């Protein structure tokens, strides 16, 4: 028995199967025709589909794991270009792209996080050919020759060195072959979209095979910047990937992979969902329209500079598989680098408010996995492994005010004070009270001021993991597994704020006379207005007239108001300058490590699983699983990083405090997940069924909420969901394959008292549809001598759901009115000739359904809400040649 037959999954960290419906197709895709029958990656489209979700050779029916897999044929038929498109085929998976091409969030069964903040490791782990990709920028790409994409649902602990608390996405590309072959694909679509992909594989010698592939993906923007007269939200990415396979003996296999890909595109537009009072100000600043107010689906935007996204992702891996007879040894070594440089007009208006909002991130990752798997004839088998992970993250961020920010700030202060104050008045008054009237002249909201930020983090982790399978009877197998993980992080910040106004303590004793004057003036206007029955504060003219006509009454009112002002000039709750605190956007930053905060975390955990699988009949299996998962602490590498409430007293007592310092989070503690799951799998000659019923929860779920200028990172006490997943297929007639995948979820925050929106315990988490369904039909008709006509259609439905848990600066419940409902229809027709040539037409989101992927408070624009609209309808033609 060769190594490849011994461990079908030994060449990948996790391999699963094509969907249950894959066997119903008439034949394997042409691209697989050259693969030897015993190759581990070969997909059996007969009745016994071979899978290795448990890292052992089993049929789909025998695999007691909740897994969905999208095959190469499905990727082609649905024109799935990247992981964002993948959710249309897997209803338990949600993928969202946020403010840049480097920020993608993956959610399985309602659990997932990690985008926007490089210090947060995702709860959904992504692996490509067995190599863990720790951040989303390293996960997006048009990989050449993808064989299948597998989505494992629920915590994956005992088979993975890198623990994933919510699930795993595993992408498997085809290994080099010892028979010459390859493919070339070219596609053209609307928005002048051009996609070219190709690969070639073959032998170098009897023991060495190679493959090399490349991809190019370019598209004009589907949105229009009317201020800059330019297309935006374009696509421009390319990559190359090479592999060498050494098989000097039947017992030894070495697979070397090297890849490089690059993204250089403009992303991502945000439309105006709610036009708040600041829109009138920005319109006045630009002398026209600054946003397309309340119309996020016009795909017309107004910016004052084009956003940029430059991402480079490259690395290599070496996998060694060695056959020891009745055991197999596997080693996977990998080193990767990601360089992401993004700059965005983050106020999303044509006014030059935010002149620069850039993030330059460097991520270097080294991983090493070693595992040993048995293949004994007896009832007992095992898998044991060790895993090492080392990562270094350096991020340089900058946010600077633009040329319009000073007049914008002046308008905000005038509005908030009812015209009583302005930026020059504030600068002169506060400076005079400090002994120098010119001290702040021209410095409030000055163009070019802002924050210069440096964040660093080093993460070292290791784990020991394994499973034991015991066949109690020919039909009953029990499995136990465990994973002990040790994770250490060290992090540091070097952040400087030059936002002068944000560094002023408006409660300071030096400003008491100013507060006294404002309290007196405001109180007098209010009292006179009440006496006159105006229903508002009196104007200066009305006060003067009242004083002349009623000197005695006015004197009594004036005395009482002055007494109130004297008593409350140092009362923070009555401070008349409090409304101005909302405009202190970028306060001074307390860096760490410092005398109180060491800037490090140290976590450890033992996760385990127990499963019983029983073969009811030769075609029906059932299983029951209990499993736990773990994710270590995540770090808030953003300008909203603030001391924990427990550390703040010691910081202030030690004289380390900075002006306007408040408590927040430096890091969020670990996530601990668990799942109770019951599953049924049935497979017959014309149908297949997979059913899973589960209760899954995560204690300490790491919530990352955008606040308008940064991110608030916090642990939820507990988030849980009941759910049912159904995945079935049927072939009613020869050539026709019908599929249906349905997910029903009932999620809630069992406990979340410290959210960014207060206590939201007992509420339903946002962004998680109660019902998701993916339906598909593929009909393959034989035409002539070996030619095929392939008709494919699929439809994705997601029931209405709230977009966000809340919005900073808005009343509780305000955001509940904004919901997302997805109705997406995709279709394709392909004519495949018997000589390997294929021609086809395709379309995605054919009904041009529109919805917002998420919403957020507009940057520095109180009362306004921005949101990301989904991608509109796309369509095109494709030519493909396989040989």
pLDDT value at position 352? 96
User: Which of the pair, 445 or 854, is modelled with greater confidence?
Assistant: 445
The CATH code belonging to domain 3-173 is 2.170.130.10
Both tokens of residue 689?
A: 């069924």
> What are the extents of the domains in the chain?
3-173, 181-403+447-503+583-882, 509-576
Count CB-CB contacts under 10 A for residue 472: 11
What is the pLDDT averaged over residues 473-496? 95
pLDDT of residue 446: 97
For the whole model, what pTM was predicted? 0.88
Instruction: For residue range 16-48, list pLDDT tens digits in order.
Output: 333 333 322 233 333 333 333 333 333 333 344
In Å, what is the CA distance from 691 to each residue of 114, 261, 541?
A: 29, 38, 77
**Helices (H), strands (E): how many in the chain?**
10, 41
d(CA 153, CA 17): 14
Question: What is 181-403+447-503+583-882's CATH number, 2.60.40.10, 2.40.170.20, 2.60.40.1730, 3.40.920.10?
Answer: 2.40.170.20
Tens of pLDDT, residue by residue over 426-447, are 999 999 999 999 999 999 999 9
Give pLDDT tens digits for 355-408: 999 999 999 999 999 999 999 988 999 999 999 999 999 999 999 999 999 999
Judge whether 300 and 227 are in contact, CB under 8 Å.
no
Cα 233 to chain center, whole Å?
18
Q: What is the pLDDT of residue 815?
A: 92
- Tell me, what's the pLDDT at 126? 86
- Whole-number pLDDT of residue 612: 96
Mean per-residue pLDDT, 809-833: 93
Specify the residue for token string 């007896």. Answer: 378
- Torsion from C-alpha of 567, 568, 570, 573, nearest 10 degrees: 150
Spatial distance between the Cα atoms of 489 and 503, rounded to a whole number of angstroms: 31
Mean pLDDT in residue range 815-827: 94
Please, what is the average pLDDT of the chain?
Answer: 88
Q: Which residue has the tokens 């027709």?
A: 829
Structure tokens at 426: 């504030």
Residue 226: pLDDT over 70 = yes
Q: What is the mean pLDDT of residues 445-456?
A: 97
At 150, is the pLDDT very low, low, confident or very high (cuts 50, 70, 90)? Answer: confident
Considering only residues 65 and 202, tell me which one the structure prediction assigns the higher pLDDT: 202
Higher pLDDT, residue 141 or 650: 650
User: Residues of the chain with pLDDT > 90: what percent?
Assistant: 73
In the block, tokens 């699963």 appear at 16
Please give the average per-residue pLDDT across 567-584, as a whole number. Answer: 94
């Amino acid at each position: 028995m060769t190594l490849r037959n011994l461990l079908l999954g030994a060449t990948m960290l996790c391999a699963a199967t094509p969907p249950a419906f894959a066997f119903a197709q008439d034949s394997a895709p042409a691209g697989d025709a050259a693969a030897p029958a015993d190759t581990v990656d070969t997909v059996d489209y007969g009745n016994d589909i071979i899978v290795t979700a448990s890292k052992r050779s089993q049929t789909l029916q025998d695999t007691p794991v909740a897994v969905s897999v999208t095959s190469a044929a499905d990727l082609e038929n649905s024109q799935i270009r990247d992981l964002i498109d993948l959710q249309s085929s897997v209803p338990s998976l949600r993928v969202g792209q946020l403010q840049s091409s480097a920020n993608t969030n993956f959610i399985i069964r309602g659990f997932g996080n990690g985008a926007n903040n490089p210090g947060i490791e995702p709860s959904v782990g992504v692996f490509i050919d067995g190599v863990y990709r720790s951040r989303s920028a390293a996960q997006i790409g048009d990989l050449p020759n993808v064989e299948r994409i597998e989505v494992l649902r629920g915590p994956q602990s005992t088979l993975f060195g890198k623990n994933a608390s919510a699930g795993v996405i595993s992408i498997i590309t085809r290994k080099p072959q010892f028979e010459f072959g390859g493919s070339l694909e070219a596609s053209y679509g609307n928005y002048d979209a051009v996609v070219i992909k190709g690969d070639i594989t073959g032998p170098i010698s009897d023991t060495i095979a190679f493959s090399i592939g490349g991809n190019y993906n370019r598209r004009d923007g589907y949105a229009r910047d009317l201020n800059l007269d330019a297309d935006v939200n374009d696509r421009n990415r390319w990559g190359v990937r090479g592999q060498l396979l050494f098989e000097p003996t039947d017992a030894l296999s070495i697979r070397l992979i090297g890849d490089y890909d690059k993204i250089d595109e403009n992303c991502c537009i945000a439309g105006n969902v709610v036009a708040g009072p600041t829109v009138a100000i920005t319109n006045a600043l630009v002398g026209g329209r600054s946003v397309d107010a309340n119309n996020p689906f016009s795909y017309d935007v107004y910016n004052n500079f084009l956003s940029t996204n430059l991402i480079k992702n490259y690395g290599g891996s070496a996998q060694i598989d060695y056959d020891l007879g009745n055991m197999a040894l596997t080693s996977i070594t990998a080193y990767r680098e990601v360089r992401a440089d993004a700059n965005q007009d983050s106020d999303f208006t044509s006014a030059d408010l935010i002149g620069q909002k850039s993030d330059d991130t460097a991520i270097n990752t080294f991983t090493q996995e070693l595992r040993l798997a048995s293949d004994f004839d007896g009832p007992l088998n095992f898998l044991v492994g060790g895993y090492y992970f080392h990562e270094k993250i350096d991020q340089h961020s900058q946010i600077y005010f633009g040329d319009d920010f000073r007049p914008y700030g002046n308008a905000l202060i005038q509005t908030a004070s009812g015209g009583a104050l302005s930026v020059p008045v504030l600068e002169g008054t506060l400076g005079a009270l400090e002994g120098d009237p010119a001290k702040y002249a021209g410095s409030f909201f000055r163009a070019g001021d802002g924050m210069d930020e440096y964040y660093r983090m080093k993460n070292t982790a290791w784990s020991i993991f394994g499973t034991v399978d015991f066949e109690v009877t020919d039909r009953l197998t029990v499995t136990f597994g465990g994973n002990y993980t040790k994770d250490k992080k060290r992090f540091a910040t070097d952040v400087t704020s030059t936002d002068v106004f944000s560094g002023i303590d408006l409660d300071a004793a030096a400003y008491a006379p100013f507060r006294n004057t404002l309290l007196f003036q405001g109180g007098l206007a209010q009292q006179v207005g009440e006496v006159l029955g105006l229903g508002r504060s009196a104007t200066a003219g009305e006060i003067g007239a009242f004083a002349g006509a009623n000197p005695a009454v006015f004197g009594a009112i004036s005395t009482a108001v002055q007494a109130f002002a004297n008593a409350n000039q140092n009362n923070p709750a009555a401070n008349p300058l409090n409304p101005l605190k909302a405009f202190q956007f970028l306060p001074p930053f307390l860096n760490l490590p410092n005398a109180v905060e060491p800037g490090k975390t140290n976590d450890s955990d033992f996760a385990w699983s127990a499963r019983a699988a029983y073969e009811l009949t030769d075609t029906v299996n059932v299983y029951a699983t209990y499993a736990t998962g773990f994710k270590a602490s995540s770090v808030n590498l953003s300008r909203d990083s603030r001391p924990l409430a427990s550390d703040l007293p010691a910081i202030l007592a030690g004289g380390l405090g900075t002006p306007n310092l408040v408590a927040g989070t430096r890091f969020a503690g670990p996530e601990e997940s668990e799942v109770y799951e019951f599953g049924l799998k049935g497979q017959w000659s014309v149908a297949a069924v997979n059913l899973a019923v589960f209760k899954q929860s995560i204690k300490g779920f790491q919530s990352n909420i955008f606040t308008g200028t940064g991110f608030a990172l916090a642990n939820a006490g507990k988030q849980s969901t009941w759910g049912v997943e159904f995945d079935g297929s049927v072939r009613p007639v020869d050539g026709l394959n019908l599929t249906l995948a349905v997910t029903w979820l009932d999620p809630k925050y069992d406990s979340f008292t410290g959210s960014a929106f207060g206590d939201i315990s007992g509420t339903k988490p946002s962004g998680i549809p109660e019902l998701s369904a993916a339906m598909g039909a593929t009909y393959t008709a034989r035409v002539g001598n070996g030619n095929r006509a392939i008709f494919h259609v699929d439809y994705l439905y997601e029931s209405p759901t709230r977009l966000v848990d809340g919005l900073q600066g808005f009343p509780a419940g305000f955001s509940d009115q904004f919901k997302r409902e997805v109705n997406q229809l995709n279709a394709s027709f392909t004519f495949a000739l018997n000589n390997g040539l294929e021609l086809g037409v395709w379309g995605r989101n054919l009904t041009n359904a529109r919805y917002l992927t998420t919403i957020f408070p507009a940057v520095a624009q109180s009362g306004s809400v921005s949101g990301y609209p989904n991608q509109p309808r796309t369509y095109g033609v494709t030519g493909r040649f396989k040989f």
